[in-house]
Chain A
Amino acid sequence: MTPLAGRCALVTGASRGIGAEIAVSLAQNGAAVAVNYSGSRVKAEEVVSRIAHIGGSAFAVQASVGDAKGVQTLFAELSSRSFEPDILVNNAGITKDNLFMRLSDEDFESVIAVNLKGAIFCTKQALPNMIKRGYGKIINISSVVGYSGNAGQANYSASKGALSAFSRSCAVEFGAFGIRVNTVAPGFIETDMTAALPEDVKLGMLKSIPLGRAGSAEEVANAVLWLASPISDYITGQSIHVNGGMYLQ
């Protein structure tokens, strides 16, 4: 089954973790995938190889999404390859966790730049072609903490709450053009990002999850795949929580 055959997907921050699994999953289902990375070229090439190995089509492309010019260059490069994304997954994200009182201006601003402005810049660049085609799927990867708040993550939770709200307004603004905009909000997922958490924090989190375990990046990718596929064409402006029951809407 290749529900995404003929589709082009750009996944930002796809060199590892959740982004990498999303890229593989979309490619496995027929989409050609642009694997965006910021610094880890080798990792991004590994994802491209993984995809080639399962008979999919992908290439790696560098850009720091928090920089508007970088995003412009990224889309110019995609365009030169005649690669016009019909699926955009705004996944690139960074954390700079600290107690609220200890967050510097830079800690706050840099997280907003990548996690929120990066998604805004990419969405702006991807929209014209989606509008021309009258079809598009934009999937923003938020986080449970954008809904629940989380001590030590004032910057990250603000960026993710903002991204979810951005997503809702985009769904309203671009629905008439056939563009679906949704949010996937992962809970506690086993990735490099969460591996860095102290053991006691991890144990505390597990206690708050009814299913009693962390999720996998692949389980997040499954939700993204569904939202990217035509079978979810009547879904827009929604948040899909992949969190084992950790936070209930």
Chain B
Amino acid sequence: MNKPLDAKTALITGASYEVGAACALKLAQDGANIALAYDADKDQVEQLAAEIIREGVDVKLFELSIGESASCKGVVDAAIELFGGVDIFINAQTAFLSKPLLETTEQEIDYILQNNLTGTFYLCRALARYMMKKRWGRIINIIGFAAFLGAAGETVFSASLGGVAALTKTLARELGSRNITVNAVSLGLTDTKLIKRVDNLLIDDYLNCAIVKRLGAPSEAADIARCLALPTSEYITGQVVHVNGGLYI
């Protein structure tokens, strides 16, 4: 039986984190070959790769330093070479920082902006070069509610995500004529390792404000990312889709 993403290849960053991993699995189930980029926990990414292979698609691993231009270009070039192209890009790698602004160092500011915002630019630029020639592409950036709702202790983190949201809209405008759609999925409180670093009382406060009073599952975010990656979604571009249980409306 034909699957909607047969013969397509997806590059997914943040493969060692739950949302990236869930996206990779969903796309593999739809028939896409998967290039997994990771920055840590190689063992875990190898386990994910083993799961993906069972879907009958090809999978390869790439170590990526997302804050470095050369590494981003290197991984994109290698994935294009090994798979014969990359059609879908899901950027699910995000460095988190929760710290009062006055205690945040210049190095931390640089690290967060470089990884989350500038790194997204490096990767999108390298991929768009290929996608423009191919006249087809899907770019999906995973961001979070802090950029829209604001969050104490997350000034720099939220700035990096707000930057990606704006970058997403500009890229949608610039690349649209070549059949490349660019969208963002903005997460709410999602059940990941990261959330375990957040104070329980704070999580309760947030859940009290949300309409659906539970954490989101990584697979729920991945469902929307998958949907945006499908060929049938070509009329959706430049959008931020909020998957947050009504935390921010």
Contacts and interface: CB of A to CB of B under 8 A. Distances in A.
Given A112-B113, A128-B102, A169 B174 contact: no
A84 B149 CA distance: 30
Contacts of A158: 117, 121, 163-164, 166-167, 170
A172 B150 contact: yes
B69 interface: yes
Interface of B, helix, strand, loop or mixed by DSSP: helix
A161 B101 CA distance: 19
B69, B101, B159, B173 pick with most chain A CB within 10 angstroms: B159
A145 B158 contact: no
A99 B125 CA distance: 10
Contact of B161 (A105, A151, A165, A172): A165
A154 B128 contact: no
Given A101-B128, A158-B117, A237-B150, A124 B170 contact: no
B106 A166 contact: no
Given A103-B125, A151-B174, 10 more contacts: A100-B128, A128-B102, A151-B173, A158-B163, A161-B166, A162-B113, A165-B159, A166-B158, A172-B152, A173-B151
Interface of A: 68, 99-101, 103, 105, 108-109, 112, 116-117, 120-121, 123-124, 127-128, 145-155, 157-166, 168-173, 237
Contact of B154 (A105, A150, A169): A169
A147 B154 contact: no
A189 B183 CA distance: 28
Interface in B144-169: 146-169
B174 A161 contact: no
Given A149-B238, A162-B162, A173-B155, A157 B170 contact: yes
A63 to B, nearest CB: 15
Contacts of A149: 166-173, 238
B155, B156, B165, B166 pick with most chain A CB within 10 angstroms: B166
Given A105-B69, A123-B101, A165-B147, A116 B113 contact: yes
Interface of A, helix, strand, loop or mixed by DSSP: helix
A120 B156 CA distance: 8
Given A100-B175, A108-B121, A154-B170, A165 B129 contact: no
A99 B129 CA distance: 12
Contacts of A148: 169
29 contacts: A105-B69, A105-B122, A108-B118, A112-B117, A116-B159, A123-B101, A145-B166, A146-B162, A147-B166, A149-B166, A149-B167, A149-B168, A149-B238, A154-B121, A155-B121, A160-B166, A161-B162, A161-B164, A161-B165, A163-B162, A165-B148, A165-B159, A165-B162, A166-B155, A168-B147, A168-B148, A169-B155, A172-B151, A173-B100
B241 interface: no
A157 to B, nearest CB: 4
A105 B159 CA distance: 19
B57 interface: no
B148 A161 contact: no
Contacts of B207: none
A126 to B, nearest CB: 11
B109 interface: yes
A171 B159 CA distance: 13
